[in-house]
Amino acid sequence: MSQELTCITCPIGCRLVVERTASAGGGRDPEGELSVSGNRCPRGAAYAREELLAPKRTVTATCRALASQGSRASQGQGSARRIPVRTTAPFPKERVGELLAAIYALEEPLPVARGRVLIRDALGLGIDVIATRSLG
C-alpha cells in the first residue's frame, strides 16, 4: 500500500511516496517498515513517519497586549494591540484547539521582549509559548 504526502518541513515541499511493506502488521511499528521516497533530505522521511503516526504543527497566533503606563503603545506610537506568539516546537495536532484557547486567554503587559515565555509547559506537553516580537 502506498500513500502520497507533501513534506512541509521546509518551503521546497517535496512530494513523498510512503510504502508500507507487507510486514508492517497494521503499521504499529513503522521504523524500517515504512519506506519513504521523493524526499530531498532526511527530514522528509522523518516527517512522513511522524505525519502518519503522531502529527504535529507549529502553532502561531497572537495574544492580547495590555499597554502599561508610559509605554510606547499606550501613547499611541506603534499601533500594536496584539503580541505575536508561537510554540517553541511543533505541537500535537489534536490538542491545537485547547492550546489556542489558552493563548487567547492571555493578557500580557507591555513591554514584552522577543522570546519571553508566555506559557511554560503548555498543557503539560513540555512545549512553551513565546513572544515573537519585542513590543512596547
Partner 1 sequence: MRELSFDAVVIGGGAAGMAAALELEARGHAVAIVEREERLGGILAQCVHNGFGLIEFDEELTGPEFAERFEEKVGARPIKVLCGCTVLSLEAEGQDKVVSCVSSAEGVIALRSRAVVLAMGCRERNRGNIRIPGSRPAGVYTAGLAQRLVNVEGYVPGKDVVIIGSGDIGLIMARRMSWIGCKVHAVVEILPYPSGLTRNIVQCLRDFGIPLYLSHLTTEIYGRDRVEGVEVAPIENGALMTAKAFRIPCDTVLLSVGLVPENELSRTAGVTINPMTSGPWADSSLMTSVSGVFACGNVLHVHDLVDFVVEESRRAGAFAAAWLAGARPGREVRVKAGSNVRYVAPARVEAGRDNKLYLRTMIVKNDALLEVKLDGKVLLSSKKNHVQPSEMITLKLGKAELAGAAELPDASIEISIL
By the rule CB under 8 A, 116 interacts with partner 1: no
Burial class (CB in 10 A: 0-12, 13-18, 19+), 79: exposed
Q: Which is nearer to partner 1, 25 or 64 (CB)?
A: 64
Smallest separation, CB 18 to ligand SF4 (Å): 12
The one segment of 12-20, 60-68, 103-111, 127-135 that binds ligand SF4 by CB under 6 A: 12-20
- The position carrying cell 502561531 is 60
Separation of alpha carbons 28 and 44, rounded Å: 20
Residues 6+ apart with CB under 8 A from 79: 73
Residues 6+ apart with CB under 8 A from 72: 78, 111, 136
By the rule CB under 8 A, 120 interacts with partner 1: no
By the rule CB under 6 A, 14 interacts with ligand SF4: yes
Per-position x/- string for 40-79, each x denoting binding to ligand SF4 as judged by CB under 6 A, each - no binding = xx-xx--x--------------------------------
Q: Which is nearer to ligand SF4, 13 or 70 (CB)?
A: 13
- Residue 61, H or E segment: strand 60-66
**Interface with ligand SF4 (CB under 6 A):** 7, 9-10, 12-14, 39-41, 43-44, 47
